Structure 1
Amino acid sequence: MLGFNEPEFLAQVASAVGLRPQIEEVVDRLVDEGFDSLLLVGAGGTYAQMWPYEHLARRHSTLDVRAAIAAELVVSGDARLGERTVAVFTSVSGTTDDSIRAIEYCKSKGAYTISFTGYPDSPVATKVDQAFVSQPKTWPFDMQMLLFMGRLLARRGEFDGYDQLAGELAGIPEILVEVARQAESKAAAFAEAHKDTGYHFLIGGGNLWGFTYLYSMCILEEMQWLRTTRVHSAEFFHGSLELLEEDTSVIIFQGEDETRPLTDRAEAFARRVSKDVTVFDTRDYPLTGISPEFRGLLAPLVLDTVMSRVSKHLERVRDHSLDLRRYYRVMDY
């Protein structure tokens, strides 16, 4: 597979799911001590990656759980943030300025702070009350967040299948390698067909809306300097559909939760207008060892693996490094 370091990938994913005992111990303590609200704080891609877990809590829990943009949280505040708040942060590098400031802000309000990162000596690890450290550069954080949120909901009596899910996640490193292998040919074909495409229209919903936002903004825009429109499938018929034309590249991310019919509806309309509609559907991947009732929860993780192959092939055909930036962490702002 192009640009795929399998041993490194396996080690990273294994290190993330290997945090299960530590995550459970901390979650159990927090539940026993009691808290009233949970803030899931991120910046850019790590903010978008919190949305599936806010979505999960909204569907299953009466606990106050909210995703927050780190920079906005610091300047706008939150009336419910205080000593009975738990604030969770993620950062690949552990050096994201907005997240560091948000950690300091939350601690100043008395919140208990938790982070997930790959660097134990980084500010995002050392400034929080509890840091969970995986292998360096481990991405995405869905494994850790699913364990954290699953255990929390289970302890609250709001998720009966947690122990089974957590046990099955032990096999996720190998499962995702197989997903990557299966996605390779489609990823290469998509990249070849779109090497000169300068604009993409992305649609996703449910627990894949965060990934839709992330892939549009963090990959296609930031890493490939391509123009995009991104729209939630439930909002597709309220404005953005007017941008579709016959040659518009439409990318649809389809998952397996209860919002699937909304994305189906958007896809059906998009195909009536555009001759260039590509659907990336988690149903296409077997996920051997994962029970059917948990497949929907893993959709963001599966699509991240699939689209990482697309990203690598776009990098190749467009001769545009995924590490190249004009402004991000290049200029002061």
Structure 2
Amino acid sequence: MLGFNEPEFLSQLSSAVALRPQIEELADRLLDQGFDNLLLVGAGGTYAQMWPYEHWARRVSTLDVRSAIAAELVVSGDASLGERTVAVFTSVSGTTEDSLRAIEYCRSKGAYTIGFTGYPDSPVAKSVDVALVSEPKTWPFDMQLLLFTGRLLARRGEFGGYDKLAAEFAGLPEVLLGVARQAEPVAAAFAEAHKDADYHFLIGGGNLWGFTYLYSMCILEEMQWLRTTRVHSAEFFHGSLELLEEDTSVVIFQGEDETRPLTDRAEAFARRISKDVTVFDTRDYPLDGISPEFRGLLAPLVLDTVLSRVSKHLERVRDHSLDLRRYYRVMDY
């Protein structure tokens, strides 16, 4: 596979799975101590990656769980933030300045802070009350967030499948390696067909809306300097559809939760207008060893694996490094 380090991929994902005992101990302790609300704080991609877990909790739990943009939280505040708040942060590098300021702000309000990162000596790891550290550059954080949120919901009697799901996590690195291998020719074909496209229209919903936002903003825009429109499948018929034309590249992220019919509806309409509609559907991947009832929860992980292959092939055909930036962490702002 192009630009793919298989041992590193397996090792990084395994390091996230290995955090299960620490995550469970932490979740149990926090529940035993009592807290009123859970704040999931991020910046850019890490903010978008929090949305599936806010979405999950909102559907099945009475626990107050919400996501927040780090920089906005600091300047706008949150009336619920206090000594009975648990605030969760993620940062690959452990150096994200917006998150560091938000950690300081949350702690000043008495909140208990948790950080997931890949560097134990990083500023984020040293700033939070407890850091749970995977191998460096481990991405995404969905495994840790699934375990943490799932354990909380299970202890509250709101998710009966936790033990089964957590046990199946042991095989997840190999499962996702299989996804990457299966996605490779699909990714190469998409990149070749779109090497000259300078605009993409992205659609997703449910627990894939966060990934839709992330891939549009953090990958296509930030890393490839491409123009995009991103729209939630439930909002597709309220404005952005007017941008569709016959040659518009429409990219649809389809999962397996209850919002699937909304994305189906958007896809059906998009195909009436555009001759260039691509659907990345988690149903196309077998996920051997994962129970059917958990496939929907794993959709962000699956599509992150699939689209990471697309990203590498776009980098190749466009001769545009994924590491190249003009402004982000280059200029002062």
Same fold by TM (over 0.5)?
yes
Using the alignment, how far apart are the partners of 2:94 and 2:155 within structure 1?
A: 29
Q: What amino acid maps onto 2:125 in structure 1? A: A
1:98 counterpart letter in structure 2: D
Over residues 174-213 of structure 1, what are the superposed CA-to-partner deviations in whole Å (9 max), with x where a residue is unaligned? 0000000000001000000000000000000000000000
Aligned residue in 2 for 1:75: 75
Correspondences of 1:211-222 after superposition (within 5 Å): 211-222=211-222
Which residue does the alignment assign to 2:173?
Answer: 173
Partner amino acid for 1:19?
L
The aligned amino acid for 1:214 is L
Q: Which residue of 2 aligns with 1:291?
A: 291
Mapped to 1, the partners of 2:14 and 2:130 lie a distance apart of 20
Counterpart of 2:251?
251
Q: State the partner residue of 1:49.
A: 49
| Deviation of 1:113 (Å) | 0.1
Match of 1:96 in 2: 96
The reply on whether 1:107 has 2:104 as its aligned counterpart is no
Matched, 1:156 2:156: yes
Distance (whole Å) between structure 1 residues aligned to residue 21 and residue 59 of structure 2: 25
Within 5 Å, which residues of 2 pair with 1:1-333? 1-333=1-333
TM-score w.r.t. length of structure 2: 1.00
Distance 2:219 2:301 in 1: 16
Return the alpha-carbon distance in structure 1 between the equivalents of residues 31 and 59 of structure 2: 19
Q: CA deviation at 1:129?
A: 0.5
What's the CA shift for 1:62?
0.2
Tell me the CA shift for residue 124 of structure 1. 0.7
CA RMSD of aligned residues (A): 0.3
Identity of aligned residues (%): 88
Report the Cα offset of residue 82 of structure 1: 0.2
Please give the alpha-carbon distance, in whole angstroms, between the structure 2 residues aligned to 1:93 and 1:271: 40
- 1:3-56 CA-partner distances (Å, limit 9, x unpaired): 000000000000001100000000000000100000000000000000000000
Name the CA distance, whole Å, in 2 between partners of 1:230 and 1:109: 35
Q: 1:145, 1:124 → 2: CA distance?
A: 17
Q: What is the CA–CA distance in structure 2 between the aligned matches of 1:144 and 1:124, rounded to whole Å?
A: 16
TM-fit CA distance, 1:246: 0.1
1:66-103 CA deviation, whole Å, 9 max, x = no partner?
00000000000000000000000000000000000000
Per the TM alignment, residue 115 of structure 1 is displaced from its structure 2 partner at its CA by 0.5
Task: In structure 1, give the amino acid aligned to 2:223.
Answer: M
What is the identity, as a one-letter code, of the residue corresponding to 1:285?
Y
| 3-state secondary structure, aligned to 1:327 | coil
Per-residue deviation, residues 285-312 of structure 1 (Å, max 9, x unmatched): 0000000000000000000000000000
Letter in 1 for 2:255: G
User: For the residues of structure 2 that align with 1:186 and 1:31, how far apart are their CA atoms?
Assistant: 44
SS of the residue aligned with 1:7?
Answer: helix
| CA–CA separation in structure 2 for the residues paired with 1:273 and 1:165 | 41
Q: Deviations for 1:143-183, whole angstroms, at most 9, x for unmatched residues? A: 00000000000000000000000000110000000000000
For the residue of structure 2 that corresponds to 1:54, the secondary structure is helix
Q: 1: CA distance between counterparts of 2:245 and 2:26? A: 51
**TM-score, normalised by the number of residues in structure 1:** 1.00
What is the CA–CA distance in structure 1 between the aligned matches of 2:36 and 2:294, rounded to whole Å?
A: 27
Q: Which runs of 5+ in 2 are unaligned?
A: none
Report the CA distance between 1:283 and its aligned residue: 0.1
Paired with 1:75 and 1:302, the residues of 2 have a C-alpha distance of: 35
Q: CA deviation at 1:259?
A: 0.2
- Output the CA distance in 2 between the equivalents of 1:67 and 1:124: 18
Distance (Å, rounded) in 1 between the aligned partners of 2:145 and 2:64: 16
Residue 58 of structure 2 aligns to a residue whose secondary structure is helix
C-alpha distance in 2, partners of 1:116/1:250? 34
CA distance in structure 1 between the aligned counterparts of 2:202 and 2:61, rounded to whole angstroms: 29
